[in-house]
Amino acid sequence: MNLSLFLWSFNFLSHYPLRQGHRAIILIWLLVSLLNFVLIPGACALRVFELKKGQTVYGTLKYVKIGHGATLLDIARDQDLGYNQIVAANPDVDPWVPPEGARILVPTMFVLPRRRLPSGILINLAEMRLYYFKGKRFWTCPVGVGREGYSTKLSVYTVLSKAEDPVWVVPPSVRREESDLPPYVLPGPDNPLGKYILRFSRLSYGIHGTNRPWGVGRRVSHGCIRLYPEDIASLFHLVPVGTLIRVTYEPIKVGWTEDRCWLQVYRDYENRVDNPLGEVLSGISSCQQAIGPLKLDLKEIKKALKIQAGIPVPVAYRARK
């Protein structure tokens, strides 16, 4: 609920004749809604979708125009995308000095990873995106990941603990690289952990905010997962201690909706996929099991594998009888 809706509802309640008991119940609901609005900043930052049976592709592709003085990073954050996604989708546009009025593709369409959990957090390092599945919904947002040599170990973890205003105890490996750093950093604008952190059950990893938002959608950390401040503020309040976390690496994702099979390809920066075409065909085979016989568009498949733009494209269609 936004503030204007609350005020309108309160005014309506004051003038519309209701039974006293009903009035009290509605007033309590309004007050709880207002507390949520005030106490949970950025509660709508994460993108949320209703899970639908027979569908693994969600969202839409759209275009926006560059405003005066804006960069692609500004658009990425406004649309809850990472640097990698906005730049890959607009390869001919200077990310720092784009021409004013330029038409920018915003790829807010997602194919769900194959190795997702029925419930819990999934982090796809290749995509640099986090998904949180709970009940009949999922939430998603972009992330910053470990730089070369510090990639998060692929495994299953749990959320061991949660902390607000965490103290950063600087790891020895970081202090060896930056000897001028203190042993620890208190909460505040200089703390790279940001306002909130969800700590992993092992290996000193965490999902946390950042004081450098431009690092979301980049390989910049020592293995931790960085979120925009508004995204971690929302996720922190959604995720309980004990939640499962799976860290995976899927640069090639195949999914389906209605009568189409979609392919989404990101750069395989760790060179883990030996047979990209075989990976796609395996995914399409899963599509066929879900929606029936398909007619492949090999030209689109090869094009997507070549440009690796992270934009979902239809590559197979339900075969006509």
Residue 111: which H helix or E strand, with range?
strand 103-111
pLDDT at 3: 41
Choice among 172-176, 190-194, 268-272 with the minimum mean pLDDT = 172-176
Burial class for 176, CB neighbours closer than 10 Å (0-12, 13-18, 19+): exposed
pLDDT at 45: 81
Please give the C-alpha separations between residue 38 and each of 1, 4, 41, 240, 304, in angstroms, as whole numbers.
Answer: 11, 13, 7, 21, 44
pLDDT tens by residue, 223-235: 999 999 999 999 9
Mean of all residue pLDDT scores within the chain: 88
Q: Answer whether residue 237 shows pLDDT above 90.
A: yes
What DSSP letter does each residue of 183-215 carry, written as one string?
Answer: SEE-SSTT-TT-SEEEEESSTT-EEE--S-GGG
297 token code pair: 């568009």
The length of the chain is 321
pLDDT at 27: 53
pLDDT at 73: 95
Position 178 confidence tier, pLDDT thresholds 50, 70, 90: confident
pTM given for the model: 0.84
pLDDT tens by residue, 32-65: 444 443 343 333 489 999 999 989 999 999 999 9
Position 10 confidence tier, pLDDT thresholds 50, 70, 90: very low
Please, what is the angle between helix 298-307 and helix 276-291, to 10°? Answer: 130
- Number of Cα atoms under 13 Å in the Cβ half of residue 292: 8
Please give the C-alpha separations between residue 87 and each of 4, 63, 76, 188, 320, in angstroms, as whole numbers.
Answer: 36, 14, 9, 30, 37
3-state SS record for 308-320: CCCCCEEEEEECC
pLDDT at 33: 42
State the Cα–Cα distance between residues 261 and 253, nearest whole angstrom: 11
State the Cα–Cα distance between residues 83 and 72, nearest whole angstrom: 8
State the Cα–Cα distance between residues 188 and 297, nearest whole angstrom: 52
pLDDT at 175: 81
Please give the C-alpha separations between residue 230 and each of 27, 113, 209, 210, 299, in angstroms, as whole numbers.
Answer: 29, 24, 8, 10, 40
> Where in the sequence numbering do the catalytic residues fall?
208, 224
Position 184 confidence tier, pLDDT thresholds 50, 70, 90: confident
Instruction: Report how far Cα 283 is from the mean position of its chain's Cα atoms.
Output: 22
pLDDT at 31: 53
Please give the C-alpha separations between residue 148 and each of 222, 249, 270, 309, in angstroms, as whole numbers.
Answer: 9, 14, 9, 21
Position 24 confidence tier, pLDDT thresholds 50, 70, 90: low
